[in-house]
Structure 1
Amino acid sequence: MDFKFVEILNSTLILFSVIDIFGSIPIIVDLRKKVGHVQSEKATLAAFIIMILFLFLGEFLLKLFGLDLASFAVAGALILFFLSLEMILGVRLFKDAAPETASIVPIAFPLLAGAGTLTTLLSIRVEYKIENIIIGIVLNLILVYIVLKNTHRIERFLGKNGLAIVRKVFGIILLTIAVKLFKTNFFIDI
């Protein structure tokens, strides 16, 4: 095991930006209004399982389709770029159908462990050790669980403007991460 504080911190912050749990509070609040109770424990555990499985099996799946990790990292950088634009500009580029229940499907997937998160996991795997990424996942999901349990309090504390500021700040961080991933992996095979 090769635990490195800098890698743990970086993977935690990258995943925090992509998962964007604070930016998702308005979505979670809307879900609660539509369907009632959000199953925080179940959603967090399901997101953990999805992320860990993809972290370990994602590369195998890529090889199965004849793809390499650097190409996936570049594709992931492009997805992160567009996700960051959504956060910064307040526009919606990716559109999903509205869920009928607030269970594992809308919360764990795709809200927590969606395409951006899964792409990011494989992308950062190029740069960081797996054990440091797993710690980053766990730290993020602890925060996710706390947020899911306290959505109403956080919403009242930050207010609409506070949530918008948090979302834009993490959008800029995510944009910077996307540029770095692209720059690091684009010229690998050339």
Structure 2
Amino acid sequence: MDPTAYVTAFVTLFVVIDPVGLAPMFVALTGEMSHRQRRQVGFRAVCVAFLLLTLFGLAGEQILHGIGISLPAFRIAGGILLLLTAFDMLFERRTERREGQTAPEPQDPSVFPLAMPLLAGPGALATMILLSGQGEGWGYLAVIHLIMGAVLVIALVLFEMASGLARVLGRTGIMVVTRLFGMLLAALSVQFIIDGLKGSGLV
């Protein structure tokens, strides 16, 4: 497997999961908690997200075959979904949607909304299925899941640094980073669509 494919996988997952953008959201969800409670919530959220993403990474293609959907068709649909996510990031709708999810769950937001849908959202689940289907062998799958785990570890580290990070970046800095990730995700999602069209024989 071309090493650049693994770099692309990391960039794709990093952009879709968006740990930097989630750090201020984590602060908002855990604002009245102690540092220890924040650490526990962040750890639980990352563990649950890892399990969900692993499930879809390992069994997603079989699920698709079971309901009669081809992988090229899912690549195209997943690419379109990621493109819509990119538009949300570029035009700030994603931030507004996330901010709308912060009110409930004052006691323990680790499963909802942190793990699902913020960390392991529809875009991330679709990305794991798409990436897992782009190579062959358990070695490739293991590397993809290690990459996904690395992105979640980065998210956990940023959760630890969330308060200071939000102050350093400020709202303007977070907006700039989110838009940059949106541009990268738009390009990668178009590539998914092109790959799906090639796999279907239409191109």
Give 1 or 2: higher helix fraction.
2
Structure 2 partner of 1:116: 123
Distance in 2 (CA, whole Å) between partners of 1:6 and 1:156 is 34
Residues 94 and 185 of structure 1: is their aligned pair in 2 closer, same or farther, counting only changes over 3 Å?
farther
Alignment of 1:53-92 (within 5 A): 53-92=55-94
Distance in 1 (CA, whole Å) between partners of 2:67 and 2:96 is 25
How far does the alpha carbon of each residue in 1:124-176 deviate from its partner, in whole angstroms, 9 at most, with x for none?
Answer: 22324312211211210110110111110111111111111110000000000
- Given the alignment, which residue of 162, 168, 192 partners 1:181? 192
Count of aligned pairs: 188
Runs of at least 5 residues in structure 1 that lack an aligned partner in the other structure: none
Residues 77 and 93 of structure 1: is their aligned pair in 2 closer, same or farther, counting only changes over 3 Å?
farther
Checking the alignment, whether the CA contact within 8 Å between 1:7 and 1:132 is kept in structure 2 is: no
Distance in 2 (CA, whole Å) between partners of 1:81 and 1:168 is 13
Structure 1 partner of 2:12: 14
Q: What is the aligned-residue RMSD (CA, Å)? A: 2.2
Distance in 2 (CA, whole Å) between partners of 1:92 and 1:122 is 22
Query: Partner of 1:188: helix, strand, or coil?
Result: helix
Q: CA deviation at 1:54?
A: 0.9
Structure 1 partner of 2:160: 149
- Which range is displaced more, 86-95 or 23-32? 86-95
What TM-score, normalized by structure 1, do the two folds share?
0.89
Alignment of 1:89-100 (within 5 A): 89-92=91-94, 98=101, 99-100=104-105
Distance in 1 (CA, whole Å) between partners of 2:95 and 2:156 is 27
Checking the alignment, whether the CA contact within 8 Å between 2:9 and 2:147 is kept in structure 1 is: yes
Runs of at least 5 residues in structure 2 that lack an aligned partner in the other structure: none
What TM-score, normalized by structure 2, do the two folds share?
0.84
Between the aligned residues of both structures, percent identity stands at 26
